[in-house]
Structure 1
Amino acid sequence: MKSEILSSEAVGGNQWHFDQQSEDVYLNYTSFDCGADTDEIGFLLQHGVSGQALAEARRRAYLWRVSPFEALLACGAIDEERLYAAVAEAVGMPFLRRNMRIGTGARFPECLTAGVVPLHPDEQGLRFAIAPGVRHLGRFMEQHARWHDAGVALTTPRLLTRLAMRAFPRHIAHLAANGLADAAAALSYRGQMSGPQIGLLALAVGVMSFFLVRAPAAAFGLFASLCGLVFIAMVTVRLACCLEPPRHPPRRSPEDHALPTYTVIVPLHREERVLPQLLTALEDLDYPPAKLDIKLVVESDDATTAVALRRQTLPPWFEVVVAPPGLPRTKPRALNLALQLARGEYTVVYDAEDVPEPQQLRLAAAHLAAAPAHVACLQAHLAIDNVDDSLLTRLFAIEYAVLFDVINPGLATFGFPVPLGGTSNHFRTAVLRRVHAWDAWNVTEDADLGLRLARLGYAVEDLPSTTREEAPARLRAWLAQRARWMKGWLQVCVTHTREPRTALRQLGPAGTLGAFATVAGTVLTALFFPIFLIASVRMLADGSLLAADEPVRRAVAAIGLTLFAAGGLAMLVPACIGLRRRKLQRLAPYVALMPLYFVLISFAAWLGAIELICSPFRWNKTEHGLARTSEAARRRTASAEAIIHPVRSNRRSP
């Protein structure tokens, strides 16, 4: 099934390009045993590393099942550049810092994958620079004799990455933006609406306009009937999700030695206000530091975030990646770039304002290790952190409780396509690369990727772990964010209806029903909810809905009344269940205001539709760091007080 659209043999549409000399160096280099230990780290005593630090590195290397060099870096006993310079000195090789010029035979990202690049000829006679991964350094030192007089210099993986990013900015920008579109144009929004789609839309608008002029009542009835099919599917799925209890795996905590390397990608853009909170949350992750690969991605012109990062002392397992300039300026483009550099078996995406539970990576690693190979992604639960900032944040919290504590777990249980949230998605890195990652031309790349995974035969499952994030507290900021979301949902509809027969064959009847209910239902409900709400309330108020005198009109009235009641249940019942599961019952009185909240969503959806025409790829930036309340901070304070002041027993002393 997957081969119908995507090739699984190449990432980003590229193949290996090495001349014979490069290939010889590469084959020698990759023959190292990445699990090898070494007795040669004692030479680091001459470079300022204490014997106690070396002993501690050996102990942690044994506990984590990593090399001593990885443990040394993770413990902060030495930085990467000093370590590689010391290794180069120990084996008698040149060490290159920043004066390298990559030769014309290099290719991105293959040169980073191999850790080998050809160099421009210079007076030193150097032909290649190699950057073995930290885990390979022990075997590299044991076999250093093969590098004598080979014209090879040593450098660090990070220096090699920075050099490659400077050497190939246009190529890297193109890959990040067009990897999916070049490999499978039908699955990317880059081409926007196809000719048949435009023709069908024009025909529908023309026919509806004709009937509105000639027979407005009949036109509204026809339109309502067509939308009613979508609403019935959506109501059925939402209520079914309420009846299905979440099926969570046991919350096991694997031992450190059993954990794989985990890549964490965090795209940043004008996020200096929340940077301290983000770094604290990432450092609090309960995961062996030597197995963490955290990528902070910033845009090349984002000077404020870059300055804020330079003021921070980042742990060794953090890496700042600067995205080269290019279009479109979207979050998925930054994610695609970081994925090219990911070292982890699993990859998770967080937003700048996120505060994930510390155990989340362990739980995801255990779940993915035990899950079948076709389970490509886990969606953690998202919850609003600043619930009490305003009425808008309270309603936002209810919406998130419905989506991430009721609907998405239900969709995953039924095996339906799951429209991913924009954060806390835990992927198998190999599968993510195989499907060409995110569509940089879709401003709701998460929902698009969830549907694409389903089309290509992969599944998304629920992860019972919470990530708290900040919601906009002001209406203007909320409308800008929601307009972008709704514009993205419209882009998802366009992308996945280009080849309807192919999509139907890939998803199957049940998957098509689920996608129809979630995607089309979300869009049509958002656009036309106020119209149907006003029409239904008006007909109920004047009795016209119940006073039909013809059998057909009675049947239509009965269907309309049933759909109106079921729609109300589908709005209120998931909200009550979600609040109970989220332990936010105190927000129950605000559930009555959800119809008004959906009116606001409808207004944002029309703004998104206008943006889709005028500026389809513009990314409405949401400002963070403005919250006045914080549920995560309150919980941390309560935990600290519980440790300092243990709860006393209610039993009286005898």
Structure 2
Amino acid sequence: MKRKLLGELLLERGIIREEDLEEALRFQKETGGLLGEILVLRGLVHPMELYEVLAEQGNLLYAGRDLEELLQSIDRTLLERFDPQDLLRFAFFPRRLNQGALEILTPFPENPHRDRWLEENFPKTAIHMALITPYELDWLLHFFFKERFLKEATAGLFFRAPEESAARVLVPWQWGVLSGILFALLFGVFLAPQTTLKVLFALVNLAFFAQVLFKLLVGLAGSSREPLAISKEELESLDPRKLPVYTVLLPLHREPPEVIEQLTSAIRALDYPQEKLDILFLIEEDDPETLRACKAAYPPYNVRFILIPRGFPKTKPRACNFGLAFARGEYLTIYDAEDIPEKDQLKKAVLAFRKLPKEYVCLQAALNFYNATQNLLTRLFTLEYSFWFDYLLPGLSRLRLPIPLGGTSNHFRVEALRKLGGWDPFNVTEDADLGMRAHYRGYRVGILPSTTFEEATSHLKNWIRQRSRWLKGYLQTFLVHNRRPLHVLKTSGFRGWLTLQLFIGGTPLGYAASVVLWGVLFAWLFSRGKFLEPYFSGPILCIGAMNLFVGNFLGVYFSMFAVFRRNLDHLLPFALLNPLYWALAGIAAWKGIGQLLSRPFFWEKTVHGMFRRKGP
């Protein structure tokens, strides 16, 4: 007897109308998606109704109607024979052994990879199957294995590659070197204070100037060539039926309802087949307010809520690692709660990955702001971001140097991301660390010609909170990858090693040094040179003056340079205030240094939703 089609069964049961089925079938022909998923995503069929009909179609049972009864039927001793990663990879859950047959639960009755794996691991064992929805599979995996997922998310990188983990701020030899430098400095100040301070002042000035000059050269390299070009014709020629499943991780914590609503709208607006989007809202278990806001926003059915168990450290990378275990896509990206990516960004990423060699495991999209003109702080922030993402990162890419990723809109090959060990949950700029780690393991990061618009922090206290976390994380990354300087030199050469020192270490230390240098300048001015003259005379004074004028000129030049690619000419006058912005960053740098010593893993959250966008 010929098996009835899914659409016929849904019509017979009166679940859908004929015109809805015709429209869904037409859409299926265009995109190549599964009919059931299309109907669910359009809100025409409830997942439970769909799987009851699928069970009838395949002469199977649907086991998910009563979750309490389902839980009672699980043989917990049987679970010890399974690795949860295999259950995720092959999308099934073992229920029990019944008269020599293995009963499994799955949303996908036809899965040859799973069937082959079961045949290899359970030879001569009959397999009986019952259906559950994808949401019920996630729930079972989370209920029974969340501690194992959490352990991997928290300690996986540390156990596999402790030298790459920021779980220890300093390793013993680094403590020894820093203690030796501090002792030598104190000893020098005690025995020969003038000579010691002159040498120290000269070294700080030279190091500060070196990192500014390095960024200038990298920025110039980034200005001479556009990132990977993707034409409109290439986008239009993409066959939606051949697009892969794309996972989107959205780590959320204490987000206001209006931010969640904006996020849901941004997800719906993505120009990508919705049935091929695997969207994960990562919500902390102890954050019921955000969970309620997410439910109230009525996100589409391709959104799954993944609750992150309580644990230490409570950081975004730990949540992302937990979510990575549940990712079903070939590619994956991360967005922050307030992000609005360009609609075609995922398609551009797919095209870019197809064009580039396999060594490219990540693509970084540009970031900019939709509230650039809200106040003075957002204007200065926009100038900085424009130079960073439109010139500096493309410059690093062109020079084949390590690229510290931005915290959002990084696009990964999932297989490679898992090989890299995911994110370091102890590093508060896990993005920058992952970009450096990928480079030192022989991979490459590319620049994606697409922009995600974010909310620029508009309140000074919130900005200091955010910036101090970033700079603390850059120091963590600097210390972690300097544990093995010979390895860095071997894998990326002298230029890669120099990038670690001047770009990763130089950014926070340069900001911190600028505060000290400005303090010395004002002390010299107010004392009319008398108090500091013995320490800063002659060539030392010339070095300081050069840094004052040339260093600040270059800082202003960076900001002026930044306006051209995005036609931000209206921000040009504000570039003259760049020294003031650097001073604020210097304050944040010292706060970050203090937290590195006292609370290295503390994630100081940036408050979102302080700007209300006009229009849709």
* In structure 2, distance between residues paired with 1:128 and 1:441: 40
**Paired residue for 1:264?**
248
Q: Does 1:42 align with 2:5?
A: no
Cα deviations by residue, 1:378-436 (Å, 9 ceiling, x for unpaired):
11111122223332222212211121122112111111111111011111111111101
Q: Deviation of residue 171 (structure 1)?
A: 1.2
Which of these residues, 49, 54, 60, is aligned with residue 27 of structure 2? 60
Shift of 1:149: 8.0
Name the SS of the counterpart of 2:362 in structure 1. Answer: strand
**Pairing 1:370–2:355 present:** yes
2:231 to 237, 248, 251: 251
Q: Matched residues in 1 for 2:573 and 2:171: separation?
A: 46
Amino acid aligned to 2:509: L
Indicate the residue corresponding to 1:107 in structure 2.
83
**Distance in 1 separating the partners of 2:596 and 2:338:** 27
Secondary structure in 2 aligned to 1:579?
A: coil
Cα distance between partner residues in 1 of 2:360 and 2:127: 45
User: Counterpart amino acid of 1:109?
Assistant: Q
**Corresponding residue for residue 15 of structure 1:** none
2:104 is aligned, of 111, 114, 129, to 129
Structure 1 residue matching 2:325: 3-state secondary structure: helix
1:182-197 equivalent positions in 2, closer than 5 A: 182-197=159-174
Q: What is aligned with 2:153?
A: 176
Aligned mates of 2:323, 2:231 — CA distance in 1: 30
Match 2:579 to one of 580, 583, 595:
595
* CA-based RMSD: 3.0
Residues 272 and 346, structure 2, Cα contact 8 Å, conserved in 1: yes
Q: Does the Cα contact within 8 Å between 2:220 and 2:391 map onto a contact in 1?
A: no
Alpha-carbon distance between aligned partners in 2 of 1:459 and 1:172, rounded to the nearest angstrom: 28
- State how far apart, in whole Å, the 1-side matches of 2:159 and 2:378 are: 40
Q: Which residue of 1 aligns with 2:411?
A: 426
Distance between the aligned counterparts of 1:310 and 1:497, measured in 2? Answer: 44
Q: Which moved more, 1:217-226 or 1:170-179?
A: 217-226
The count of corresponding residues between Structure 1 and Structure 2 is: 584
Q: What's the CA shift string for 1:109-152, capped at 9, x where partnerless?
A: 22121223222468x99842231448859x99xxxxxx998443
- Where 2:373 maps in the other structure, the secondary structure is helix
Change (3 A) 1:151 1:260: closer
Aligned to 1:69: 36
Cα 1:331/1:540, change in 2 over 3 Å? same
Shift of 1:285: 0.7
Q: Within the alignment, does 1:337 sit opposite 2:314 as a pair?
A: no
**Distance in 2 between residues matched to 1:238 and 1:38, nearest whole Å:** 65
| Contact 1:106 1:117 (8 Å CA) reproduced | no
Shift of 1:534: 4.3
Conserved in 2, the CA contact under 8 Å of 1:128 and 1:151? yes
CA contact (8 A) 2:230 2:348 kept: no
Kindly indicate whether residue 70 of structure 2 is the aligned counterpart of residue 92 of structure 1.
no
Match of 2:87, as an amino acid? C
| 1:377–1:459 contact (8 Å) kept in structure 2 | yes
Q: CA offsets, 1:193-221, max 9 Å, x none?
A: 11111111111111112222333332233
Compute the displacement of 1:189 (Å). Answer: 0.5
> Which amino acid is 2:457 matched to?
P
Structure 2 match to 1:156: 133
Separation (CA, whole Å) in 2 of partners of 1:531 and 1:64: 59
Partner of 1:487: 472
CA distances 1:302-360 after superposition (whole Å, capped 9, x unpaired): 11011112223221211111112221110001111111111111111000011111111
C-alpha distance in structure 2 between counterparts of 1:40 and 1:444, whole Å = 48
Alignment of 1:230-241 (within 5 A): 230-241=207-218
**C-alpha distance 126-239 of structure 1, shift in aligned 2 (>3 A):** same
State the one-letter code of the partner of 1:312.
A
Q: List per-residue Cα deviations over 1:485-517 (Å, max 9, x = no partner).
A: 121111111211111111221121222222222
Counterparts of 2:40 and 2:23, CA distance in 1 = 12
In structure 2, how many angstroms separate the alpha carbons of the residues matched to 1:189 and 1:80? Answer: 42
For residue 362 of structure 1, report the CA deviation from its aligned partner.
1.4
Q: Is the 8 A contact 1:379 1:420 kept in 2?
A: yes
Structure 2 CA distance for aligned equivalents of residues 66 and 592 of structure 1: 53
> Which of 143, 163, 179 is residue 166 of structure 1 equivalent to?
143
The equivalent residue for 1:643 is none
Counterpart of 2:230, as a letter, is P
Q: Is 1:261–1:293's contact at 8 Å kept on the other side of the alignment? A: yes
Specify the SS of the correspondent of 1:362: helix
Q: CA deviation at 1:444?
A: 0.9
Distance 1:169 1:325 in 2: 11
User: In structure 1, what is the Cα distance between the partners aligned to 2:4 and 2:197?
Assistant: 77
Distance apart, 1:533 and its partner CA: 3.4
**1:515-563 CA-partner distances (Å, limit 9, x unpaired):** 222112102112111222344677799998xxx99xx986655555544
Please point out which of 586, 604, 609 is paired with 2:570.
Answer: 586
Q: Which amino acid aligns with 1:168?
A: F
Letter in 2 for 1:492: T
DSSP-derived class of the 1:388 partner: coil
Q: Identity over the aligned pairs, expressed in percent?
A: 34
What is the CA distance between 1:287 and its match in structure 2? 0.8
Structure 2 counterpart of 1:650: none
> 1:462 maps to which residue?
447
Asked whether the 8 Å contact 2:556–2:575 carries over to 1, the reply is yes
What is the CA-CA distance between 1:581 and the residue it aligns to? 1.8
Q: Aligned partners of 2:93, 2:452: CA distance in 1, in Å?
A: 40
CA distance in 2, matches of 1:216, 1:409: 44
Which position in structure 2 is the counterpart of 1:6? Answer: none
Q: Compute the TM-score of the two structures, normalised by the length of structure 2.
A: 0.88
Where 2:62 maps in the other structure, the secondary structure is coil
In structure 1, C-alpha distance between the alignment counterparts of 2:469 and 2:575, rounded to whole Å: 25
Q: Distance in 1 between matches of 2:477 and 2:414?
A: 23
Structure 2: give runs of 5+ residues left out of the alignment.
Answer: 116-123
User: 8 Å contact 2:109–2:131 — kept in the other structure?
Assistant: no
2:336 is paired with a residue whose SS is coil
User: What is the CA–CA distance in structure 2 between the aligned matches of 1:230 and 1:107, rounded to whole Å?
Assistant: 50
Question: 2 CA distance for matches of 1:553 and 1:476?
Answer: 38
**Structure 2 vs 1, CA of residues 584 and 538 (structure 1 numbering), >3 Å: closer, same or farther?**
farther
Specify the alignment match of 2:183 in structure 1. Answer: 206
**Deviations along 1:31-50, whole A, 9 cap, x unmatched?**
xxxxxx99554222234133
Residue 48 of structure 2 is aligned to residue 81 of structure 1: yes
How far apart, in 2, do the equivalents of 1:150 and 1:79 lie? 28
Query: What displacement does 1:447 show?
Result: 0.9
Distance 2:44 2:147 in 1: 37
Deviant stretches of 4+, over 6 Å: 537-544
Residue in structure 2 matched with residue 28 of structure 1 by the alignment: none
CA distance in 1, matches of 2:125, 2:301: 30
Partner Cα distance (1:149, 1:506) in 2: 50
Which stretch shows the higher mean deviation, 365-374 or 126-135? 126-135
Cα distance between partner residues in 2 of 1:42 and 1:405? 53
Q: Is the 8 A contact 2:515 2:587 kept in 1?
A: no
Q: Is the 8 A contact 1:408 1:462 kept in 2?
A: yes
Q: 1:503 to 1:158 in 2, by over 3 A?
A: same
Distance 1:416 1:537 in 2: 38
Query: Which residue in 2 is equivalent to 1:220?
Result: 197
Alpha-carbon distance in structure 2 between the residues aligned to 1:464 and 1:515: 25
Structure 1 counterpart of 2:121: none
| Contact 1:121-1:127 at 8 Å conserved across structures | yes
